[in-house]
């Protein structure tokens, strides 16, 4: 119990750092941001392997990781889709995408392709089986029209997985808050239906739409 509380506090502290105001973010280098995104407490809190397993990513699939950040999820997704699959690491930050490219090269992963996208459209180069938006939807302004655009990037039967804060939002996120009810309205308007709900993440919802 005590361990859970300590790790929860650590996760909230990391989350608060991730949500620095725009001005402070400009002062923060990509390297500093990557350190925060890949901190031990964040990695253990996000249960990456379990998330990837739950997503049932399989060999040969095409996946888009919108808001890929440092590539924390893109790399294990690339492992899961294998050499015949592709992971599009989509982000608005060119420095983070450079890091994703470098780390993919270091790990000899040729199936991660980076996409520098504008803020209002992920510009995924082809239709994919799965779009994952992890710890990112709260950064996207005007979520409803953004989510409506996703359909055009999905193969028939394709899925959209969203992970984001649930009950307790960390300090600094006040203006970015939304609820699962908001998300349901946006996704319904975009023509998606919730098909899976997972609750093993502490303070994060994990929903899959189709
Ligand atoms: C908190 S990080 C999460 C990174 C990664 N998904 C993870 O969980 O480790 C949020 C990421 O979303 C990116 N981002 C912010 N607004 C975006 C937008 N409109 N479209 C795509 N990416 C965006 C940021 O540059 C940042 O890399």
Strand partners, 115: 90
Neighbours of 196 (CB within 10 A): 14
* Joined tokens for residue 144: 């409803």
Three-class SS state of 38: coil
> Residues 6 or more apart from 142 whose CB is under 8 A from it?
120
Mode of pairing for the β-strands spanning 204-209 and 154-165 = antiparallel
For residues 68 and 10, what is the distance between their CA atoms, to the nearest angstrom? 22
Most informative mutation of 92, 141, 169, 175 for ligand 1 (most atoms within 8 A of CB): 92
Question: What per-residue confidence (pLDDT) applies to 22?
Answer: 47
Nearest atom, ligand 1, residue 65 CA: 6
* Joined tokens for residue 176: 């970015």
Nearest to 56 by CA among 152, 161, 135, 136: 161
Domains and CATH numbers, the chain: 47-209 (3.40.50.150)
Q: 11 pLDDT exceeds 70?
A: no
Confidence at 25, pLDDT banded by 50, 70, 90: low
List the residue whose alpha carbon is closest to atom 26 of ligand 1. 69
Q: Tell me what the mean pLDDT of segment 198-208 comes to.
A: 96
Q: Which residues line ligand 1 (CB under 6 A)?
A: 18, 37, 66-69, 72-73, 90-93, 96, 117, 119, 134-136, 139-140
The alpha carbon of 1 and the centre of ligand 1 are apart by a number of angstroms equal to: 31
Higher-scoring residue by pLDDT: 44, 20:
44
Q: 23 pLDDT exceeds 50?
A: no
pLDDT over 90 percentage in the chain: 83
Question: What per-residue confidence (pLDDT) applies to 168?
Answer: 86
- Tens of pLDDT, residue by residue over 146-184, are 999 999 999 999 999 999 999 889 888 989 999 999 999
Question: What per-residue confidence (pLDDT) applies to 16?
Answer: 58
For residues 121 and 158, what is the distance between their CA atoms, to the nearest angstrom? 18
* Joined tokens for residue 148: 């409506």
Question: What per-residue confidence (pLDDT) applies to 205?
Answer: 98
């Amino acid at each position: 119990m005590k361990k859970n509380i300590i790790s929860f506090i650590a996760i909230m502290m990391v989350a608060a750092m991730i949500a620095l105001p725009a001005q402070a973010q400009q002062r923060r280098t990509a390297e500093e941001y990557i350190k925060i995104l890949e901190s031990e407490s964040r990695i253990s809190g996000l249960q990456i392997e379990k998330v990837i397993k739950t997503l049932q990513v399989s060999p040969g699939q095409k996946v888009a990781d919108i808001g890929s950040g440092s590539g924390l999820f893109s790399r294990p997704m690339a492992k899961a889709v294998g050499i015949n699959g592709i992971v599009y690491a989509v982000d608005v930050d060119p420095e983070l995408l450079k890091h994703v490219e470098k780390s993919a090269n270091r790990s000899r992963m040729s199936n991660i392709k980076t996409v520098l996208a504008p803020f209002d459209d992920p510009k995924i180069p082809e239709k994919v089986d799965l779009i994952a938006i992890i710890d990112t939807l709260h950064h996207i302004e005007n979520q409803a029209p953004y989510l409506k655009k996703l359909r055009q990037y999905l193969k028939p039967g394709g899925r959209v997985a969203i992970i984001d804060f649930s009950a307790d939002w960390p300090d600094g996120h006040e203006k970015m808050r939304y609820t699962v009810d908001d998300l349901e309205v946006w996704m319904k308007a975009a023509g998606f239906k919730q098909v899976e709900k997972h609750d093993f993440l502490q303070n994060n919802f994990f929903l899959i739409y189709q």
